[in-house]
Amino acid sequence: MVLLFAGGCVFFPLCFTVLRWGLQNHASLQMETQEAVLVASKLVSSVQAIMASTAGYIVSTSCKHIIDDQHWLSSAYTQFAVPYFIYDIYAMFLCHWHKHQVKGHGGDDGVARAPGSTWAIARGYLHKEFLMVLHHAAMVLVCFPLSVVWRQGKGDFFLGCMLMAEVSTPFVCLGKILIQYKQQHTLLHKVNGALMLLSFLCCRVLLFPYLYWAYGRHAGLPLLAVPLAIPAHVNLGAALLLAPQLYWFFLICRGACRLFWPRSRPPPACQAQD
């Protein structure tokens, strides 16, 4: 466990550092610092998502008995990936920090904030990304101990399905990169937006009804009877995990409506914000 955790602590920050350096120094790219930080962080998130969803698929398809069957990859990848959530909190802050060094993002007067206003930038970051930071902190402080210790080797199938929720992450990351480069008008952005909406709906929102259905099929219960047949703390945990997914899905749907059904007259130039 210690070696896997230490490997994750090295792997994700190292990937970010190498990608950032390459994006800034490659002869044909030579990105500015802000751009390199954003793109590198999204690439690392996509790499983690691909690894997590692949591990989840292997685990969930290997477990024929959804309660008792075990797969070594479920605990191994969980231990390796938990440092990612710690790293990503820092990476998101770094993106926020560099954005505030760009003219027009530092304050209401359009002037970049002074380098010494770290606390003000940190407060702005927590205000803007509070839900994501809370989600990452819960993954480290709550979900990780539960999945490694509390499960006691049970329910690898469910953990594998939860890992597959990351399928939508590469599309979310690509969308943010395209917005950064003001490519909202392109066909790629529209196709990516449709794939992001579909994958988020299937892998993050409908995931929870599917897990209830899978347990009901295993226990010989109809779907609506499953919540009453399982412990209350399991229902509470599922509700707490589902709630932010529903909020983010609402935001994605709102963005999709603006993308595919734009207003006849675009709003005045105040839409430079993201």
Identify whether residues 94 and 14 lie together within a single domain.
yes
Residue 269 pLDDT class (50, 70, 90 cuts): very low
Name the nearest CA neighbour of 156 among 268, 62, 233.
62
- What are 113-156's pLDDT values in tens digits? 445 477 888 888 999 999 999 999 999 998 888 887 788 888 99
Does residue 212 sit in the same domain as residue 250? yes
Cα(117)–Cα(227) distance, rounded to whole angstroms? 49
C-beta separation of 48 from 167 below 8 A: no
Tell me, yes or no, whether 68 and 182 share the same domain.
no
Question: How many domains does one find in the chain?
Answer: 2
Which pLDDT score is estimated for 117?
74
90 and 15, same structural domain?
yes
Q: Look up the domain containing 224 and give its range.
A: 166-260
pLDDT digits (tens, 9 = 90+) for 214-255: 999 999 999 999 999 999 999 999 999 999 999 999 999 998
**Are residue 78 and residue 188 in the same domain, yes or no?**
no
Q: With respect to residue 271, please indicate whether it lies within any of the assigned structural domains.
A: no
Q: How far apart are the C-alpha atoms of 49 and 171, rounded to whole Å?
A: 10
Check whether residue 173 and residue 158 sit in a common domain. Answer: no
In this predicted structure, what is the pLDDT of residue 110? 43
Whether residue 153 is found in the same domain as residue 218: no
pLDDT at 263 over 80: no
66 φ, ψ (degrees, to nearest 5): -70, -10
